[in-house]
Amino acid sequence: MRTKFAPVLAFGAIASASPALAATGPFFSLHNTDFVVLLAFLLFIAVLLYFKVPSLLVKMLDKRAETIRSELDEARALREEAQTLLASYERKQKEVQAQADRIVETARHEAAAAAEQAKADMEKSVARRLAAADEQIASAQDKAVREVRDQAIAIAVGAAKEVIAKQMTAATGNALIDSAISDVEAKLH
C-alpha cells in the first residue's frame, strides 16, 4: 500500500535507530562521522524528494501494475476465448459422434435389409432352380416314356411283321399293297 508519508516514516525509523548514541564527543560537530553520515543521508533524501523520485517510482510501479493488470485482463479474455473454443469443439465432437452413430446405425439397417434381400433372392433362385429341375425331370420322364413307347411300338411292329410275314401269302400281300395304294390316291385327291 503506498502513502504520501512513506519517506517520513522511513526517516523516523532511521532517526530512532540513530548511531549517534554510540559516538563519543559532541554530536553536532563536523568531526563526528555519525553526524556527517546523518547529514549526507538527509541531503540524499532531500535530493530524492526534490527531484520527486518517490512519485516517479510510484508512477513506474503504477504503470507496471497497470501493465500487469492489462496482461491479466488479456489472459482472462484469452482464457474465456479458449473455453468458448473448447466448448465449441466439444459440441462439434459430440455432433460428429452422433452423426457417426447415425451412420453406423443406418449401415446396420442397410446391411440387415441387404441380407434379407439376399435371402429372398436366394430363396427365389432356389425355387427357380427347383422348378427348372422339376421341369427337366418331367421332360426326362416324358422322353423316357416316349422312348419306351417307341421301342415297344418298334418291337410290336417287328413282332407283327414277323407274325404277318409268317401268315401272309404273296396274294394277300399284293391285295394289301393295292388297297394301300388306293387309300393313298383317295386321300391325295
Q: Cell 476465448: give the residue.
A: 81
Percent of the chain with pLDDT over 70: 86
Give the integer Cα–Cα distance in Å for 99 and 93.
Answer: 10
pLDDT reported for residue 18: 53
Of the three residues 43, 66, 98, the one that is the final residue of a domain is 98
pLDDT reported for residue 11: 56
User: Is the per-residue pLDDT at 94 higher than 90?
Assistant: yes
For residue 1, the SS3 value is: coil
pLDDT reported for residue 170: 76
Count of all residues that appear for the chain in the document: 189
Determine, yes or no, domain membership for 69: yes
Question: Does one domain contain both 171 and 88?
Answer: no
Give the integer Cα–Cα distance in Å for 43 and 49.
Answer: 10
Question: Does one domain contain both 109 and 93?
Answer: no
| DSSP E strand stretches across the chain | none
The stretches of the chain forming alpha helices (DSSP H) are 6-16, 33-50, 53-167, 170-188
Question: Does one domain contain both 137 and 173?
Answer: yes
Q: Cell 395304294: give the residue.
A: 181
Is this structure's pTM higher than 0.85? no
User: What Rg value do the Cα atoms of the chain yield, rounded?
Assistant: 66
Per the structure, the complete domain to which residue 49 belongs is given by: 6-98
Determine, yes or no, domain membership for 1: no
Of the three residues 61, 77, 98, the one that is the final residue of a domain is 98
Bigger pLDDT: 51 or 157? 51
pLDDT reported for residue 186: 85
The mean pLDDT of the chain is 85
Is-contact 2 58, C-beta < 8 A? yes
